[in-house]
Amino acid sequence: MQIAASMRRLHPGRWLVLVLVAGFIALLTYGLLSKGTDDRIDQSLASGRAATAPSFSLEVLDRGALPARLAGRAGRALADGRLSLRELQGVPVVFNLWASWCTPCRDEAARLERGWRALGPRGVLFLGLDIQDVRGDGEAFIRKHGATYPSVREPGRDVANSYGATGIPETYFIDSRGLVVGHVIGVVSGRQLAQGAVAAATGRVAGRSTGGDSFKIK
């Protein structure tokens, strides 16, 4: 009762200060607890520089069918049901973010599979990341679209945030040193896929570009 009475006697100006302080604390807490997208990759690519690919260790959704050239390193990395980026050092990677509920992802599925069949035997690993999805739905998507490259999954979107993704599909091209040398936002075209794969294989920076449709993630 005494506390309530004291609060009622506060000057209106002091009330305003208290409200502002409380609002600031709430914003600070939100900022500490929430993880927004990180745009450092795109900033580096815009200046013509490669960026260190954020690390991850994720559950394997599907091991795919690896060609002989990738069966050693990538096969061993996938064998235990989890895959980390560190295990793929020395392997150029086409890293595609997707989800079963994403309509644009369906539109590019066949193109990615054709690219994988052409470039996988040359030592370029295609790796899908299924985000914000149910495992069974992701597995059904892979079967329906005949994807034979490996995929990992993440129930949330922390990895997508660390790469700076704001929607899906998005595709990142990572060279054998673990550096992102290219990024395509939206459905990747055949030309963008080929150019990005060459960049990943050679370490040359391809930069950031916009593809077709994408689905914003929340």
Tens of pLDDT along the chain (218 residues) come to 454 444 455 455 554 444 333 443 333 333 333 346 789 999 999 999 999 999 999 999 999 999 999 999 999 999 999 999 999 999 999 999 999 999 999 999 999 999 999 999 999 999 999 999 999 999 999 999 999 999 999 999 999 999 999 999 999 999 999 999 999 999 999 999 999 999 999 999 999 999 998 888 87
Alpha carbon distance 85, 105 (integer Å):
23
Helix/strand/coil for 152: strand
Phi, psi of 215 (to 5 degrees): -115, 120
pTM of this structure: 0.83
Reference 53, options 172, 182, 179; nearest CA is: 179
Strands 167-168 and 215-216: antiparallel
Pairing of strands 51-52, 179-185: antiparallel
Q: What's the confidence (pLDDT) of residue 73? A: 92
